Amino acid sequence: MTTSIETRNLIDGQWVEARGGSTRAVTDPADDALVAEVSYGGAAETEAAISAAERALPAWRALP
17-30: pLDDT as tens digits: 888 888 899 999 99
Confidence of residue 7 (pLDDT cuts 50, 70, 90): confident
pTM of the model: 0.70
What percent of the chain has pLDDT above 70?
92
Of 48, 45, 52, 55, the closest CA to residue 24 belongs to 45
Would you say residue 34 has pLDDT above 60? yes
In whole angstroms, how far apart are CA 47 and each of 12, 41, 50, 53?
11, 10, 5, 10
Do the beta carbons of residue 27 and residue 36 sit within 8 Å?
A: no
Average pLDDT score over the chain: 90
